[in-house]
């Protein structure tokens, strides 16, 4: 079995006949990139896209396809929105130039839940689940989700402020020891402000804050100029980046990588108390978040003139 969901590796053996004929009067498979774009720009209809990591064994997936088929009936929602079901291999249409989905990143198997996304008439993309992953679909819940997509009133979890918070010795105990959840903290020396080191560091911290906005990890920065850093951190030089796990706040773990955005993200992902919502332990985007990103790029009508890829 291919390591990759899509790209230049062979598709699943049943790729061409994934969807049985009995479902084709209501359900569609994902067309190629150009056809999907033309169809979407022409009709701008609310859309449900249901994907599964494995279609190799359709029998295990039929219960999910059956849900979509029932909702797509003309007397149900078929007259108001389009319904697509497919294997993950076909989802490359959302990102033709970057084949980056891995089959083994999240421990998916045939029994895993499908990844369901709704697209509103204006191109907004919504995930049937939360930050941590997909919800278990049932007829009533999926119907409610579809109707909210049609009406444009889907309520989804909001992210926290991505701004990197400032911490100092005056608020240290309150922010570190009296708070719940993991903490990531970067020590820097303001005497290096204006230097390439600090300018690059602050840019990377801001980017890291944006990457972690749906996570429970709190991100702080602390100026070490004129203060004594708590001894347990053993900061011999700056900048220095640490993770404090929720139940081990007195045992900070120092980052062993150079302090770039991705390397700090990887370090947080490796050392967080629990696996992050959007990233696996290697710092790679988990599949449901990866697809959400690509689908938003693909369908967002405001991006039509600049392209759809990240």
Rounded to the nearest 5 degrees, what angle is found at the Cα of 40, between the Cα atoms of 34 and 44?
A: 170
pLDDT tens profile 191-204: 999 899 999 999 99
Averaged pLDDT for residues 127-132? 95
Q: What is the pLDDT of residue 308?
A: 28
Is 21-156+286-303's fold the same as 165-271's?
yes
The backbone torsions φ and ψ at residue 30, rounded to the nearest 5 degrees and listed phi first, read -70, 125
Q: Using pLDDT thresholds of 50, 70 and 90, give the confidence band for residue 19.
A: confident
Q: Using pLDDT thresholds of 50, 70 and 90, give the confidence band for residue 297.
A: confident
Contacts of 307 (CB under 8 A, 6+ apart): none
In terms of pLDDT, which residue wins out, 222 or 13?
222
In terms of pLDDT, which residue wins out, 163 or 107?
163
Averaged pLDDT for residues 50-57? 74
Tell whether domain 21-156+286-303 is in CATH 3.40.30.10. Answer: yes
| Pick from 52-61, 135-144, 290-299: least confident | 52-61
Averaged pLDDT for residues 257-283? 96
HSE-up of 197 (CA within 13 Å, CB side)? Answer: 12
pLDDT tens profile 176-193: 988 899 999 999 999 999
Helix (H, G, I), strand (E, B), or coil: what is residue 205? helix
> So what CATH class is 165-271?
alpha beta
CB distance 252 to 232 below 8 Å: yes
What is the domain partition of the chain in residue ranges? 21-156+286-303, 165-271
Omega of the bond leading into 186 within 30 degrees of 0 (cis): no
Helices 33-43/287-299 angle, 10° precision? 60
């Amino acid at each position: 079995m291919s390591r990759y969901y899509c790209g230049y590796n062979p598709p699943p053996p049943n790729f061409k006949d994934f969807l049985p004929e009995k479902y084709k009067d209501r359900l569609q498979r994902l067309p190629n990139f150009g056809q999907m774009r033309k169809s979407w720009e022409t009709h701008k209809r609310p859309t449900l896209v249901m994907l599964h990591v494995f279609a190799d064994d359709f029998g295990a997936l039929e219960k999910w396809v059956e849900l979509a088929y029932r909702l797509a009936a003309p007397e149900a929602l078929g007259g108001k929105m389009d319904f697509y079901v497919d294997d993950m291999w076909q989802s490359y249409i959302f990102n033709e130039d970057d084949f980056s989905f891995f089959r083994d990143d999240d421990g998916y198997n045939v029994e895993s839940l499908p990844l369901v996304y709704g697209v509103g008439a204006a191109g907004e993309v919504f995930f049937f689940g939360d930050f941590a992953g997909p919800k278990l679909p049932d007829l009533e819940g999926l119907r409610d989700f579809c109707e909210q997509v049609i009406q444009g009133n889907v309520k989804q979890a909001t992210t926290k402020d991505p701004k990197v918070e400032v911490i100092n010795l005056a608020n240290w105990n309150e922010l570190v020891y009296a708070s719940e959840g993991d903490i990531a903290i970067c020590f820097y020396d303001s005497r290096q402000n204006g230097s390439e080191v600090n300018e690059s560091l602050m840019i990377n911290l801001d980017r890291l804050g944006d990457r972690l906005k749906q996570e429970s990890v709190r991100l702080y920065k602390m100026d070490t100029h004129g203060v004594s850093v708590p001894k347990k951190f053993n900061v011999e030089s700056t900048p220095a980046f640490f993770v404090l796990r929720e139940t081990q706040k007195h045992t900070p773990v120092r980052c062993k990588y150079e302090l770039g955005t991705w390397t700090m993200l990887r370090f947080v992902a490796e050392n967080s108390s629990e696996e992050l919502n959007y990233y696996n332990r290697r710092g790679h985007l988990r599949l449901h978040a990866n697809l959400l990103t690509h689908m938003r790029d693909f369908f967002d009508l405001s991006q039509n003139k600049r392209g759809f890829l990240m």
